[in-house]
Amino acid sequence: MRSDKPLILISNDDGFQAKGINELVMFLRDIADLIVVAPDGPRSGASGAITSANPVNYVKIREEEGLVVYKCSGTPVDSVKLALHVLVPRVPDMVIGGINHGDNSSVNVHYSGTMGIVIEGCLKGIPSIGFSLCNHSSDADFSPSCPFVRDIVSTTLEKGLPYGTCLNVNFPDTDNLKGIRICRQTDGVWINEFAECNSPRGAGYYWLTGSYKNNEPDSIDTDHWALDNGYVAVTPTKIDLTSYKLMEEMKQWDFKL
């Protein structure tokens, strides 16, 4: 880790053994030194969760020239925090989450452990990117994304990202990617979210499932439109959640106190 190459911290929410993160490492091996600190197993849907009730730890899995891999007992965000606190030799030039097995466009950004990683990197002032493929399968084919991942990482390392902003990049599941589109987050909603089952002893339990409803399927500037039409969706994302518009409106509200 003493080369002149950029240093990139990589994590994910599918665990260090997932195909997506290992493909990402292969895609980026020659352009950066890589530190992988990823959960020891699947943490899909972890969002920005942190572990405070228990301690967390890490174990080094392997080390080669320009690559070191650790597994972490905590959440995706714990992994980033722990990496930045004790494992990196210097502040990384970039934090990357992914490549996720599954779509993190639209409202999924709020549940995404991948984007939890990216927001954490961004909160620490580091240019950060999340990559996700719209295929949940454990053996999904990530190879079509390779040249785009390399292009987006290289260009972002060169250009930088404004303070407080990061990128949410999603790939449609096709080997015929049409190019990159800069998008906004689609307005959508998950409906019919549970499948009800009964245990052998009769107690009801509920599996999360559901259908995604796009509230604006004809809006061509959205990330979901891009994905539906074969484009790589790059959604610039920010960590300041303030609604400045509502802030102005509420100053006119008549609170009694």
Q: How far is the CB of 11 from a copy of itself (least distance, A)?
A: 15
- Cβ neighbour number for residue 52 with a 10 Å cutoff: 8
Q: How far is the CB of 47 from a copy of itself (least distance, A)?
A: 4
The amino acid at 152: I
CA dist 192 and 25 (Å) reads 37
Residues 5 to 34 in contact with a copy of itself, rule: CB under 8 A: none
* Candidate ranges 2-10, 30-38, 61-69, 78-86; the one touching a copy of itself (CB under 8 A): 78-86
Contact pick of 2, 85, 90, 201 for a copy of itself (by CB under 8 A):
85
Residues 30 to 59 in contact with a copy of itself, rule: CB under 8 A: 42, 44-53, 55-57
x-or-dash pattern for a copy of itself, window 142-161, by CB under 8 A? -----xx--xx--x---x-x
By CB under 8 A, residue 203 contacts a copy of itself: yes
The amino acid at 167: L
By CB under 8 A, residue 194 contacts a copy of itself: yes
CA dist 27 and 29 (Å) reads 6
Structure tokens, 139 = 């053996």
Length of the chain: 257
Please say which residue, 42 or 66, places its beta carbon nearer to a copy of itself. 42
Contact 223, 233 (CB under 8 A): yes
Contact pick of 93, 141, 187, 228 for a copy of itself (by CB under 8 A):
187
Q: How far is the CB of 34 from a copy of itself (least distance, A)?
A: 21
Q: Which residues, 6+ apart, have CB-to-CB distance to 145 below 8 Å?
A: 27, 99, 131, 133, 171, 177, 232
CA dist 131 and 152 (Å) reads 10
By CB under 8 A, residue 83 contacts a copy of itself: no
CA dist 73 and 220 (Å) reads 41
In this structure, the dihedral spanned by the alpha carbons of residues 73, 76, 81 and 86, taken in order and rounded to 10 degrees, is 40
Please say which residue, 36 or 235, places its beta carbon nearer to a copy of itself. 235
Q: How far is the CB of 185 from a copy of itself (least distance, A)?
A: 5
CA dist 171 and 177 (Å) reads 8
By CB under 8 A, residue 220 contacts a copy of itself: no
By CB under 8 A, residue 176 contacts a copy of itself: no
Q: Of 51, 104, 108, which is closest to residue 81 (Cα–Cα)? A: 51
Contact pick of 30, 64, 218, 240 for a copy of itself (by CB under 8 A):
240
Q: How far is the CB of 44 from a copy of itself (least distance, A)?
A: 6
